[in-house]
Chain A
Amino acid sequence: MLSTPLALLVGLLLLLPVCTFFAYSFLTPRAFHVSLPLTIRNYQIAFTEPVYWQLLINSVRIGLSTAGISTILGYILAYYISTQEGHLRTAILGLVVISILGGYLVRIYAWRIILGAEGVLNSLLMALRLIDHPLGFLLFSRAAVVVALVNIFVPFTALTIFAALENIGRDLVEAARDLGASPMRTFQTIILPLTGRAVFTSFLFVFLLAAADYITPQLIGGARGAMIGVVIYDQFIRLGNWSLGAALSFQIVLVFGIVLFTVWLLLKALGLLKAG
């Protein structure tokens, strides 16, 4: 009884829409809508067109860099917070939580002001007489996209990993120390494996959300920071080929799934995914 509204929500606003979306990828495209007959032509185009693969690979690269950097920086921040005590600990934790609140679009857009040709960074460098002309390569590059995306995701990875660090019993760490393990060894054999799950969770979330972004590349990516999400967006909004857009979307679901599965196998092989 109590679960009925939830079942309706999941069924009517999640499962059915995803099924419709999937069905669209097998239909024949008409301008801004679809019609029968069923076809696999959309997938043939999606999987054989080199441009889509290039953009997909670029997206995977940006996704992997963003997820890797966000996870490492998040880990450093989380570890730092966990070593602090008292008010300082609460204060830093608060700072990280509050930094989430910037708002997605605002934070992406801000990098245009910071990295642009007349931007804050170039003006500062010119004022300090470190450069004569504005550096044009700061904005509209793959690096700019990663810098902007990492900025959004670090608070999330830091908090996820911090929660995992807090769950490690102090006695476990102290036992390792008492048995003569160096801090480095304790970290490698106790702390890192016990937070492996949180590390993978963080990586997974960031990768999925970053690699499928379609706004950041449009605002600050330029040609070199182009991503597959923008092409899918264009198919739906500008070109009106909804079937191809749907097929491309499920192509990235497949590819991202394979990438994440590989990362999972890698972490498992490194012994970083023990029960925690």
Chain B
Amino acid sequence: MKRSAILSVLSWPLIVYLYLPVVVVIFFAFQDAGRLALPWTGPSLRWFQYVLSDQAFQSAMMASLKVGVASAFCATVIGTLSALAFTRYRLIIQRPLEILAMSPIALPGLFVGLSLLTYFGWLGISLSLFTVILAHILYVFPYVLIVMRSRFERFDIAIEEAARDLGANGWQTFWKVTFPLSWSTILAGGILAFALSFDEFLITLFVIGSNSTLPIMMWSRLRRRIDPSVNAVATIIFTVFVTSIALAASLFLLRRGPGGIRIPFIAGSGAQREKIQSTIIE
């Protein structure tokens, strides 16, 4: 009893400390005055109005959305294919491939960013949002793979085999059986990838050239002078990030029944469902 009392006395202040920066930034985003100090004046939406009508913000927001959607889409497609490969076939090359693909999680952004910068320089590819998208695919891929694998490892392969026995080719099996059973996880992986891309900064700074995503725009502003609009930008990034993660988490948890797949959760129209179920029963 005493031990757990000590633990909770230590843990709760720790949780407060974890939330402190984000709370402070959001708090000051609603401050009216043009400084970042107490006493706090407000609440005011002044900085949000200022930011939302700002041309630079709008183009940075568009850039972030473009990069996020494009890199999430590519990473999710590659992630799905790889997770299918990892859980179905055992090739010798897969283990090293997997370790390499996961490595960007532990590699410092500085290292990844500079590798790509020198590489693009060597190839003569000029820096643009396209190079940012390539970098983000590499960066978000490990997280997508973790999510996908957790789904496909629980997948009952017998259902796919049944489809194959009934004459479906690989493509048909995927679209008629595998995808309807795992779309929510695939979508969750995609949204997670989007959120991570939306927030990425350390790699992006090296490969973006003269463009700006939201974190890059924030960086260039907060280096110059005290600019309270930075807090509004930060709050917007934060909101998009949290909303996407919450969405991804709820989609991911939607399908996580204990073991195997659960037939009642098959997606799609009633007719589709009946067809798949009859396929399984046959």
Contact = CB atoms under 8 A, between A and B. Distances in A.
B37 A80 contact: no
A107 B116 CA distance: 26
A79 B8 CA distance: 10
Contacts of B62: none
A20 interface: yes
Nearest to A111: B21
A105 B218 contact: yes
Main secondary structure of the interface of A (DSSP, over half): helix
A120 to B, nearest CB: 6
Interface in A218-241: 218-219, 229, 232-233, 236-237
Interface in B1-45: 3-4, 7-8, 10-11, 14-15, 17-22, 24-25, 28, 35-39
Interface in B79-100: 81-82, 84-85, 88-89, 91, 93-94, 97, 100
A154 interface: yes
Given A5-B81, A10-B101, A110-B24, A215 B114 contact: no
Nearest to A212: B108
A10 to B, nearest CB: 5
A159 to B, nearest CB: 12
- Size bracket, chain A contacts: 35 or more
Given A10-B97, A103-B199, A109 B118 contact: no
A124 B19 CA distance: 18
A18 B222 CA distance: 31
A229 B109 CA distance: 10
Contact of A208 (B35, B107, B116, B238): B107
Main secondary structure of the interface of B (DSSP, over half): helix
B51 interface: no
Interface string A25-48: 000000001000000000000000
Nearest to A94: B249
Given A6-B85, A113-B24, A83 B106 contact: no
A77 B3 contact: no
A13 B116 contact: yes
Contacts of A14: 100-101, 103-104, 115, 138
23 contacts: A2-B88, A3-B93, A5-B81, A13-B116, A20-B119, A21-B115, A76-B14, A83-B7, A101-B242, A102-B238, A103-B237, A105-B234, A106-B22, A110-B21, A113-B24, A113-B25, A113-B36, A119-B36, A123-B39, A151-B21, A208-B106, A213-B108, A246-B118
